[in-house]
């Protein structure tokens, strides 16, 4: 399938997880649409959602029940008032009904959302069994949450149905992309833009990409201001504001442009620059952990890497970043993500953290290399290097929350992406021994052989080392 758009890879949503929050949200919406067009089931007597596999094991920490409740209330992830979510969910819990098909339908999240920890669907690690009941009849569907907010019906397998015309320069593998660049004599982002134009007008492509960047910047700004402790019981302190304290005065953090100018003017030594870049990644993922609004890139758990690397460019490159830079960066990064989506996975439940942080780092590395003036071959080498050094990374979120090790992993993914782009810029692609296509294939092989305990189940690694049930002291 070479029909994945960059706008499939970048979606505006809320935290903490694209597979466990955004995906279930979309599944409920899809089920409700299906019911609305099924005679007799448009206003059922009862609805039930049963979470299977990873969704059941880590769904509480990933706010899967909250996402289902919000979807049942008719909210959209792009527009829901984040501050109002606790009240909306509490009101539904008290009322125990939703409006469907013009009438009130009983729905109690406490009993109608079931975390079935004993059953795993053979077709996918993240499955939801949705049931609508009318009298003695029932209608049952099974859906998969594929990672990055992608969903499919079980009958479609793990390939969501896409109805789009074929693009002029189909890209199934990195070699296709490079061949198009060489044939046309253009950069990586030019080929992606030409393909996207088969699906949307160019003005819309550009304005949507700029809007995504604005949402990323807003999540950084909020994260750099957000003090306190993250929700969920781990008592994780929000650290992003501390990382900036000595460089950026409080007042500049209200305005992202002034924040960038302040950092540019500071001419920081290396270790402080690394701290600031890490701060941007951590800011986004602290927002994500607090159910704030972020852009999946390609997932929520890895949402901080791509914004942090772009902020690195904006704060530390010689020339200021232009709107065209933003467009080229996101087009290139998005297509690298699409390669992993098409040929491997971007789901931690299928491939561990290499599929989230590893992919986001590869995306950011290629995007940055493109902005640095690397050749198409060098930019693809950057993506390969970034993934090569995330291979085998496990997913073991403590308490099923997207906090430890997730937040810091975004900082590490960003720093590795910058290093990968720098190395690639001085590498002759003809002399490399491992291609991006090789590494995607190896990542997928590694994913398939990885023990289930390390694939977003919280049954291994750090997740069992740190006990949440006894509580961790606030610091």
Stretch that binds ligand SF4, among 75-83, 132-140, 213-221, 349-357 (CB under 6 A): 349-357
Binding mask 303-342 for ligand SF4 (x = CB under 6 A): ----------------------------------------
Nearer to ligand SF4, 181 or 440 (CB): 440
Give the helix, strand, coil percentages of the chain, each rounded to 5: 55, 10, 35
Within 373-420, strands assigned E span none
Stretch that binds ligand SF4, among 108-116, 348-356, 376-384, 421-429 (CB under 6 A): 348-356
Count the Cβ atoms, other than its own, within 10 Å of residue 327: 21
Query: Which has the closest alpha carbon to 466: 390, 391, 392, 401?
Result: 401
d(C-alpha 366, C-alpha 337), whole Å: 10
Nearer to ligand SF4, 47 or 406 (CB): 406
CA angle centred on 448, ends 447 and 451, rounded to 5°: 80
Nearer to ligand SF4, 61 or 376 (CB): 61
Stretch that binds ligand SF4, among 273-281, 323-331, 394-402, 414-422 (CB under 6 A): 394-402
Q: Residue 101 in 3-state DSSP?
A: coil
CB of 325 vs ligand SF4, minimal distance in Å: 27
Nearer to ligand SF4, 100 or 359 (CB): 359
Using rule CB under 6 A, residue 350 touches ligand SF4: no
Burial (CB count within 10 angstroms: exposed 0-12, middle 13-18, buried 19+), residue 34: middle
Using rule CB under 6 A, residue 287 touches ligand SF4: no
d(C-alpha 241, C-alpha 279), whole Å: 8
Using rule CB under 6 A, residue 456 touches ligand SF4: yes
Nearer to ligand SF4, 248 or 463 (CB): 463
Using rule CB under 6 A, residue 406 touches ligand SF4: yes
Using rule CB under 6 A, residue 402 touches ligand SF4: yes
Using rule CB under 6 A, residue 395 touches ligand SF4: yes
Show contacts with ligand SF4 in window 409-448 (CB under 6 A).
Answer: 409
CB of 466 vs ligand SF4, minimal distance in Å: 13
Nearer to ligand SF4, 132 or 402 (CB): 402
CB of 336 vs ligand SF4, minimal distance in Å: 18
Q: Which residue in 68, 282, 311, 348 binds ligand SF4 (CB under 6 A)?
A: 348
CB of 377 vs ligand SF4, minimal distance in Å: 29
Using rule CB under 6 A, residue 353 touches ligand SF4: yes
CA separation, residue 338 to residues 153, 273, 360, 399 (Å): 20, 30, 11, 30
CB of 173 vs ligand SF4, minimal distance in Å: 24
Give helix 376-388 / helix 436-449 axis angle, nearest 10°.
20
DSSP notation for 276-337: HHHHHHHHHHHHHHTT-EEEESS-STTTTHHHHHHHHHHHHSSSPP-HHHHHHHHHHHHHHH
Which residue has the CB atom at the shortest distance from ligand SF4? Answer: 301
Q: Which residue in 53, 241, 397, 429 binds ligand SF4 (CB under 6 A)?
A: 397
Show contacts with ligand SF4 in window 355-374 (CB under 6 A).
Answer: 356-357
Binding mask 210-249 for ligand SF4 (x = CB under 6 A): ----------------------------------------
Looking at the chain, the number of H-run helices and the number of E-run strands are: 20, 9
Nearer to ligand SF4, 9 or 263 (CB): 9
- What residues form DSSP beta bridges with 130? 49, 141
Cα 49 → chain centroid: 23
Nearer to ligand SF4, 351 or 377 (CB): 351
Using rule CB under 6 A, residue 294 touches ligand SF4: no
Burial (CB count within 10 angstroms: exposed 0-12, middle 13-18, buried 19+), residue 274: middle
Cα 306 → chain centroid: 10
End-to-end distance of the chain based on CA atoms, in angstroms? Answer: 48
CA torsion 104→109→112→116, rounded to 10°?
A: 160
d(C-alpha 91, C-alpha 460), whole Å: 36
Using rule CB under 6 A, residue 125 touches ligand SF4: no
Using rule CB under 6 A, residue 405 touches ligand SF4: yes
d(C-alpha 392, C-alpha 383), whole Å: 16
Interface residue list for ligand SF4 (CB under 6 A) = 301-302, 348, 353, 356-357, 395, 397, 402, 405-406, 409, 456
């Amino acid at each position: 399938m070479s029909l994945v758009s960059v706008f499939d890879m970048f979606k505006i949503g809320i935290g903490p997880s694209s597979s466990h929050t955004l995906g279930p949200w979309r599944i409920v919406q899809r089920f409700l649409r299906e019911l609305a067009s099924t005679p007799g089931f448009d206003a059922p007597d009862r609805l039930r959602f049963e979470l299977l596999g990873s969704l059941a094991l880590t769904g509480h920490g990933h706010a899967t029940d909250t996402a289902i409740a919000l979807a049942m209330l008719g909210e959209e992830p792009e527009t829901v008032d984040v501050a109002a979510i606790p009240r909306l969910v509490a009101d539904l819990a008290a009322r125990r009904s939703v409006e469907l098909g013009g009438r009130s339908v009983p729905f109690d999240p406490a009993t109608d959302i079931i975390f079935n920890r004993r059953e795993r669907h053979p077709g996918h690690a993240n499955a939801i069994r949705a049931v609508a009941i009318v009298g003695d009849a029932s209608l049952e569907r099974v859906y998969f949450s594929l990672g990055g907010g992608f969903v499919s019906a079980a009958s479609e397998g793990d390939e969501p149905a896409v109805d789009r015309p074929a693009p002029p320069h189909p890209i199934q593998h990195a070699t296709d992309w490079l061949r198009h660049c060489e044939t046309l004599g253009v950069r990586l982002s030019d080929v992606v833009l030409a393909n996207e134009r088969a699906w949307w007008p160019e003005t819309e492509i550009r304005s949507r990409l700029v809007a995504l960047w604005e949402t990323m910047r807003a999540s950084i700004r909020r994260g750099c201001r957000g003090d306190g402790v993250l929700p969920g019981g781990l008592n994780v302190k929000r650290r992003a504001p501390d990382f900036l304290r000595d460089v950026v005065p409080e007042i500049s953090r209200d305005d992202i442009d002034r924040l960038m100018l302040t950092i540019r003017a500071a001419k920081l030594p290396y270790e402080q620059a690394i701290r600031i870049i890490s701060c941007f990644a951590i800011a986004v993922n602290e927002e994500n952990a607090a159910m704030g609004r972020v852009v999946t890139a390609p997932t929520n758990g890895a949402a901080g890497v791509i914004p942090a690397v772009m902020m690195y460019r904006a704060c530390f490159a010689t020339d200021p970043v232009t709107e065209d830079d933003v467009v080229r960066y996101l087009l290139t990064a998005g297509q690298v993500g699409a390669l992993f989506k098409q040929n491997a996975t971007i789901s931690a439940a299928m491939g561990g953290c290499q599929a989230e942080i590893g992919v986001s780092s590869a995306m950011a590395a290629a995007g940055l290399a493109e902005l640095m003036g690397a050749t198409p071959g060098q930019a693809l080498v950057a993506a390969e290097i970034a993934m090569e050094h995330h291979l085998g990374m496990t997913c073991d979120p403590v308490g099923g929350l997207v906090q430890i090790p997730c937040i810091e992993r975004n900082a590490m993914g960003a720093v590795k992406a910058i290093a990968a782009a720098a190395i690639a810029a001085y590498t002759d692609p003809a002399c490399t021994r491992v291609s991006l296509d090789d590494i995607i294939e190896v990542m997928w092989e590694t994913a398939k052989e990885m023990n289930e305990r390390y694939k977003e189940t919280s049954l291994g690694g750090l997740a069992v080392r740190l006990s949440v049930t006894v509580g961790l002291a606030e610091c």
